[in-house]
Amino acid sequence: MVGVIFLIKFILATDGRMRNLCNKLLHSLGGVGNNARLMAQLIVRNIEPDVVRQLQRNAAEHGRSAEEEHREILRNVLCPKRPAAPDFKTLLTSIPQGEDIFAREPDFGRPPPRTCTDCN
C-alpha cells in the first residue's frame, strides 16, 4: 500500500495531467480525504549557510517556520498575484469627460389638450 501511494505521489510530481486520476485512486485507497490535496515535496540541497540563516531570520520576523517562509518565497516569486481589479464606480469615473453624445433637445412640454370647442 505504501509503495502504491509513493508511486502515485511520484507521478503527481512529474506529470500534472495525471492529477485527477491519481487523486481518485488515492481516495479509493483511503489515502486522502474528500477535500485533501496532494502536495509535492521539494528538497533543496547544498544551500550556503548564510542563505539558511537569512531564511531563518526572515521566518522569525514574519512569525512562521523556515519551511513556511520558504514556501511563501516560492509562491511570491513563481506565482505573483494579479493586482486587484478596480471596482465598477472607479471604472465609470475614469471615463474621460467630453461631448455628451446622448444629449437631447430641450423639452418645452406638451401642447394643451384639445377641447370640443376647438374642433368647430
Question: Does 35 fall in a domain?
Answer: yes
Question: Does 69 fall in a domain?
Answer: yes
Q: Which domain holds residue 2?
A: 1-39
Q: Is there a single domain that holds both residue 17 and residue 31?
A: yes
Question: Does 5 fall in a domain?
Answer: yes
Query: Is the alpha carbon torsion for 35, 36, 40, 44 positive or negative?
Result: positive
Question: Does 99 fall in a domain?
Answer: no
The answer to whether the beta carbons of residues 71 and 62 sit under 8 Å apart is no
- Structurally, the chain folds into a number of domains equal to 2
| Spatial CB neighbours of 90, under 8 Å, sequence gap ≥ 6 | none
Region 77-100: mean pLDDT is 82
Confidence band for 100, pLDDT divided at 50, 70 and 90: confident
Q: Is there a single domain that holds both residue 32 and residue 47?
A: no
**DSSP three-state, residue 52:** helix
Q: Is there a single domain that holds both residue 35 and residue 60?
A: no
Question: Does 94 fall in a domain?
Answer: no
Q: Is there a single domain that holds both residue 30 and residue 48?
A: no
Confidence band for 52, pLDDT divided at 50, 70 and 90: very high
For the stretch 2-37, pLDDT in tens is 455 555 555 555 555 566 666 666 666 555 554 556
| Spatial CB neighbours of 13, under 8 Å, sequence gap ≥ 6 | 40, 41
Q: Is there a single domain that holds both residue 49 and residue 31?
A: no
Cell of 85: 481589479
CB half-sphere exposure, 50, CA atoms < 13 A? 0
Q: Is there a single domain that holds both residue 35 and residue 66?
A: no
